[in-house]
Chain A
Amino acid sequence: MLRPRPLAGALLAALFATASVAQTPLEVPLAFVGDTAMSAHAGASQGLDEARMQGEFLGQQYRLDAAPADAVAIIAALPAPALLALARQHPDKPVLNIAASDDALRDDCTANLLHVLPSARMARDAIAQWRHHKPGATVEAHAWHPAFEKYAATQLNKRYTARFSQPMDDQAWAGWAAVKMLSDTVAREQTAAPAALLEALRQRLAFDGQKGIDMSFRDDGQLRQPLLLVDATGIVGEAPVRGVVDIEDLDSLGPSSCHTTAK
């Protein structure tokens, strides 16, 4: 066995005395469940690249190809019934929904199911706010848009397009955001224990999704977030819509009927 000589050891200790880098990297196996040809998977892969970069500095090692049983968190691009079944099969792990917008999933209040993609109800509320601002306007509400530039959105769009040669859509953004919020939570909490991650994500998340405001989860598991209003010409506005509601009031978009008693 190699043992460092005392002098070398002391020098090494001095060199790392101020470093917050862990000596043995923390393994963080993540699972992706869904069609890997989807943009949701490309987005999650972009998130993995960025998580790995953060992990190099802070001492974590990420992978996205773990089996659900071996993963500390599961990122799922599935239709509603399969998603619910998966979440119930792994009740102690965070399951992050990046592809299903069904309102019923939010109303279901499954404790370990977290919705990174906006709900259909959020999109409806965003459109209603915009129509209040501009009656008669025909817009769609999106989680993301490849032409979004503010809040360093340009940088994220460029990174994604450079790697995948396709524009970043809503599911790609949700996949990126899911991995990124997990890595940020692992780094801040210094743990990769599934239950601890679930608790931190639900209670203490202040996530920068490159949309200009910190994001957190509602009791129903939905990520609070601004939406982009888009018409045939491109991005026309952001919701919460200025002048209609307080632009910081993310709960003006799609609150659900779920009121959990869990703390």
Chain B
Amino acid sequence: MRRTLLASFILIASAQAQAGDSRVFVTNESGDDVSVIDATTAKVIGTIPVGKRPRGIGSSPDGSEIYVAVSGENAIAVIDPVTLKVLRKFDSGPDPETFAVHPNGNLYISNEEHAKASVFNPKTGELVAEIKVGLEPEGVAISPDGTRAIVTSESTNMLHLIAIPEHKIVANILVGARPRAAAFSADGKTAYATSEISGEVKKVDVASGKIIGKMPLADDKAKPKDILPSRDGTQLYVAGGRANRVFVLDEKSLEILHEIPVGNRVWGLALSKDGTRLYSSDGASNQVSVIDTAAHKVVATVPVGEMPWGIALHE
């Protein structure tokens, strides 16, 4: 008993020391706002109204700005992560669902109802390029070196692998039904994607554009969404959707190593820079779960706004 108490005390103390003044930003799709959580105290310290149906969220490479896709207003809202004020909004093309931030600062946005991805400079609001993709584009990922993007098209069941800066599609990779999210490995050689209806994870060799691994998630209600590699690259975190769990997969074999129960309909994931904390948005529970990635356990749940969707960290 004493040992357990001491252990939890040490766990809490070290979490506080490591977290610093980190903040977690969460879009609330039905609440039309963004909840801001102090990562140290795991308490909401602010709520920022941003407009109708905020979904995708991300940080500028230097951390000075947070971007939010305001789907119902065809706009990107720019938030100051320190003052928590909306600095400006710019037109993003129709129905922006989500986006990825390029190392050069540009946003690669999926326009769900217009079968295209658009590239914007968020400093000027200028449209840099448009890329024609399949129906209902959703997930966007950019390789760490900035030379490749992946856009998933949900209704044509494809991953479009796009060369940057040419903005040309170099491969169209057919995957399971309704691909939703994608991510690159740290070296950019491998990509990972989830398919919602087929309930599986696919692993892709980026150079050849070929599928090199797949794994159905055990629970056929899973409908997975976000996927992220761990900082050391040995594991993958998958938001299990209606399975109400975060799955931890071995990166090589794609075997499920751990299943972490979280709230209902978990979609969004974000990982701290040091890799020790994973945050999940549990949409139907109106909460964010804070996961200790070493212990594979939820260490805090934070009530946020209505239907939390995406998560970004400011560290």
Binding site for B on A (CB under 8 A): 15, 18-21, 50, 53-54, 57-58, 152, 155-156, 158, 184, 187-188, 206-208, 210, 212-214, 248
Given known contacts A152-B155, A214-B197, A18 and B135 CB-to-CB distance under 8 angstroms: no
Question: Across the interface, which residues of B come within 8 angstroms of A248, CB to CB?
Answer: 220-221
Q: Are A212 and B197 in contact (CB under 8 A)?
A: yes
- In the bound complex, what is the Cα–Cα distance between A156 and B173 (angstroms)? 22
Question: Across the interface, which residues of B come within 8 angstroms of A53, CB to CB?
Answer: 115, 134-135, 156
Stretch at the interface among B174-182, B247-255, B271-279, B294-302: B174-182
Q: Which residue of B lies closest to A212 (CB)?
A: B197
- In the bound complex, what is the Cα–Cα distance between A15 and B172 (angstroms)? 14
A50 is contacted by which of B155, B161, B198, B207 (Cβ under 8 Å)? B155
- In the bound complex, what is the Cα–Cα distance between A246 and B14 (angstroms)? 45
- Encoded as 1 (CB less than 8 Å from any A CB) or 0, chain B from 82 to 117 comes to 000000000000000000000000000000110100
Secondary structure at the B interface, as helix, strand, loop or mixed, is loop
Query: Within the complex, what minimum Cβ distance (angstroms) separates B298 from chain A?
Result: 27
Q: Are B174 and A58 in contact (CB under 8 A)?
A: yes
Q: Are B174 and A155 in contact (CB under 8 A)?
A: no
- In the bound complex, what is the Cα–Cα distance between A58 and B197 (angstroms)? 21
13 contacts between A and B (CB under 8 A): A19-B172, A20-B209, A50-B156, A53-B134, A53-B156, A54-B135, A57-B134, A152-B136, A152-B155, A156-B155, A158-B113, A188-B174, A208-B178
Q: Are A54 and B177 in contact (CB under 8 A)?
A: no
Question: Across the interface, which residues of A come within 8 angstroms of B155, CB to CB?
Answer: 50, 152, 155-156, 208, 210
- In the bound complex, what is the Cα–Cα distance between A184 and B173 (angstroms)? 13
- In the bound complex, what is the Cα–Cα distance between A14 and B148 (angstroms)? 16
Q: Which residue of B lies closest to A50 (CB)?
A: B135
Query: Within the complex, what minimum Cβ distance (angstroms) separates A28 from chain B?
Result: 15
- Encoded as 1 (CB less than 8 Å from any A CB) or 0, chain B from 159 to 199 comes to 01100000001111110111000000000000000000110
Q: Are B160 and A57 in contact (CB under 8 A)?
A: yes
B208 at the interface (CB under 8 A from A): yes
B207 is contacted by which of A18, A54, A188, A212 (Cβ under 8 Å)? A18
Q: Are B136 and A207 in contact (CB under 8 A)?
A: no
- In the bound complex, what is the Cα–Cα distance between A68 and B45 (angstroms)? 66
B158 at the interface (CB under 8 A from A): yes
Q: Which range contains the number of B residues in contact with the other chain?
A: 20 to 34
B73 at the interface (CB under 8 A from A): no
Q: Are B178 and A18 in contact (CB under 8 A)?
A: no
- In the bound complex, what is the Cα–Cα distance between A86 and B12 (angstroms)? 72
Query: Within the complex, what minimum Cβ distance (angstroms) separates B114 from chain A?
Result: 11
Question: Across the interface, which residues of A come within 8 angstroms of B112, CB to CB?
Answer: 155
- In the bound complex, what is the Cα–Cα distance between A188 and B174 (angstroms)? 7
Q: Are B136 and A155 in contact (CB under 8 A)?
A: yes
Q: Are B174 and A206 in contact (CB under 8 A)?
A: no
Given known contacts A187-B174, A248-B220, A248-B221, A54 and B134 CB-to-CB distance under 8 angstroms: yes
B157 at the interface (CB under 8 A from A): yes
Q: Which residue of A lies closest to B223 (CB)?
A: A212
- Encoded as 1 (CB less than 8 Å from any A CB) or 0, chain B from 133 to 149 comes to 01110000000000000
- In the bound complex, what is the Cα–Cα distance between A21 and B158 (angstroms)? 12
- In the bound complex, what is the Cα–Cα distance between A18 and B156 (angstroms)? 19
- In the bound complex, what is the Cα–Cα distance between A58 and B174 (angstroms)? 9
Question: Across the interface, which residues of B come within 8 angstroms of A188, CB to CB?
Answer: 174
Q: Which residue of B lies closest to A247 (CB)?
A: B221
Q: Are B209 and A18 in contact (CB under 8 A)?
A: yes
Kindly name the residue among A15, A57, A152 whose own CB sees the greatest number of chain B CB atoms within 10 A: A57
Question: Across the interface, which residues of B come within 8 angstroms of A206, CB to CB?
Answer: 176-177, 197-198
- In the bound complex, what is the Cα–Cα distance between A189 and B177 (angstroms)? 15
- In the bound complex, what is the Cα–Cα distance between A20 and B173 (angstroms)? 7
Given contacts A18-B170, A18-B208, A53-B156, 19 further A-B contacts (CB under 8 A): A18-B207, A18-B209, A20-B172, A21-B172, A50-B155, A50-B156, A53-B115, A54-B134, A54-B158, A57-B156, A58-B174, A152-B136, A155-B136, A158-B113, A187-B174, A208-B157, A208-B177, A212-B197, A248-B221
Query: Within the complex, what minimum Cβ distance (angstroms) separates B99 from chain A?
Result: 18
B32 at the interface (CB under 8 A from A): no
- In the bound complex, what is the Cα–Cα distance between A50 and B207 (angstroms)? 28
Query: Within the complex, what minimum Cβ distance (angstroms) separates A101 from chain B?
Result: 25
- In the bound complex, what is the Cα–Cα distance between A32 and B171 (angstroms)? 32
Q: Are A18 and B158 in contact (CB under 8 A)?
A: no
B226 at the interface (CB under 8 A from A): no
Question: Across the interface, which residues of A come within 8 angstroms of B156, CB to CB?
Answer: 50, 53-54, 57
Query: Within the complex, what minimum Cβ distance (angstroms) separates A184 from chain B?
Result: 7
B65 at the interface (CB under 8 A from A): no
Query: Within the complex, what minimum Cβ distance (angstroms) separates B167 from chain A?
Result: 14
A57 is contacted by which of B113, B154, B158, B178 (Cβ under 8 Å)? B158
- In the bound complex, what is the Cα–Cα distance between A50 and B134 (angstroms)? 9
- In the bound complex, what is the Cα–Cα distance between A214 and B136 (angstroms)? 17
